[in-house]
Amino acid sequence: MLYSKNGSIPKPETDDTPGWVAVGDPPTPAEGLEVVWWDPPGWIVRPPQPEPVEGFVWKWSQTDRRWVDCELNPPTPEPISGE
């Protein structure tokens, strides 16, 4: 049995403080999918993040159940002398 408190990542043991709720074991994802803890609703199965697109970042919309590409607005980089 796994337990979560206020959406914390499920663990097999609690710390005996109030608020822990039992959650099910993570489902076994179909091939090509991944399972992650996303509260709410809990364990979700989703496709892996798509390949990066320059100038955008993929973000998971749990409301829409899909990856959405969001425009990335990094600060203007300064020239880097090299790592």
Partner 1 sequence: MPQLCTFGASSARGFGLTEETGLTNDEQFNLTTLLLPGNGTNGAQNNTFLDSSTNNLTVTRNGNTTQGTFSPFSFGGGTAQANGYYSGYFDGTGDYLTVPSNAAFQFGTGNLTIETWLYPTSLPNPFQTIIVTNNNDTSSSGIGIWAKPTREIQVYDFNTLSSIFDTSGFNLPLNAWTHIAVTRSGSTFRLFKNGQLFASTTNASNFVPTSSTWIGGDSVVGSGNQPFFGYISNLRILKGTALYTANFTVPTSPLTNITNTSLLTCQSSQFIDNSTNAFAITPVGNSQPTVVNPFGMTDWSGYFDGTGDYLTVANNAAFDLGSGNATIEAWIYPTSSGQTCGIFDKRSSGANYSQFPQIALVSGAFVAYVSYSGSSWAGTINGATPVANAWTHVAFVRSGNTWTLYVNGAVSGTPFTASGSVYTSTDSLVIGASTTTGTNAFAGQISNARVVKGTAVYTSAFTPPTAPLTAISGTSLLTCQSSTFIDNSPNAFTITVNGNAYTGTLNNPFNSTINYTTPPLQAWSNYFDGTGDYLSVASNAALGVGSGDFTVECWIYLTQNFDATGQGVVTASYNTNFAAIGTNSGAGNRIDFYVANVILTSGTNYISLNTWTHLAFVRLAGTTRIYFNGVQVASSGSLTGTGAAAALYVGTLSHDLNQEMTGYISNVRLVKGTAVYTAAFTPPTAPLTAITNTSLLTCQSNRFVDNSINQFAITRNGDTSVQPFSPFNPDAAYSTTSVGGSGYFDGSGDYLTVADNTAFEFGSGDFTIEGWFYALSVASDTTIVSKWTATGTANSNSWLLFVTSGVATFLTSTNGSAVDVNISGGTVTVNSWNHIAVSRSGNTYSLYLNGTRTATTTNSNSLADVATVVAIGRYSGGTFGYMNGYISNARIVKGTAVYTSAFTPPTAPLTAVTNTQLLLNYTNAGIPDATAKNVLETVGNAQISTAQSKFGGSSMAFDGSGDALILPASQNLALETGNFTIEMWVYGANNGGTVGGSYPRLFSLGTVQTTGSIESYNAAGTLYVEIFGSSITFTASTLLNSSWNHFAISRSGSSVKAFVNGTQVGSTLTNSTNLNRAASSTSIIGASTASTGNFNGYIDDLRITKGYARYTANFTPPTSAFPLL
Look at the block and give the residue holding tokens 């697109």. 53
What single letter denotes the amino acid at residue 36? V
Rounded-to-integer distance, Cα 78 and Cα 14, Å:
47
Shortest reach from residue 75's CB to partner 1, in Å: 4
Our finding on whether 14 is near partner 1 (CB under 8 A) is: yes
Our finding on whether 28 is near partner 1 (CB under 8 A) is: no
Our finding on whether 51 is near partner 1 (CB under 8 A) is: no
Rounded-to-integer distance, Cα 10 and Cα 67, Å:
24
* SS3 label, residue 54: coil
Shortest reach from residue 44's CB to partner 1, in Å: 11
Our finding on whether 70 is near partner 1 (CB under 8 A) is: yes
Contact status, residue 51 vs residue 60, Cβ threshold 8 Å: no
Residues that bind partner 1 (CB under 8 A): 4-11, 13-15, 17, 19, 38-41, 57, 59-64, 68, 70-75, 77-78, 80-81, 83
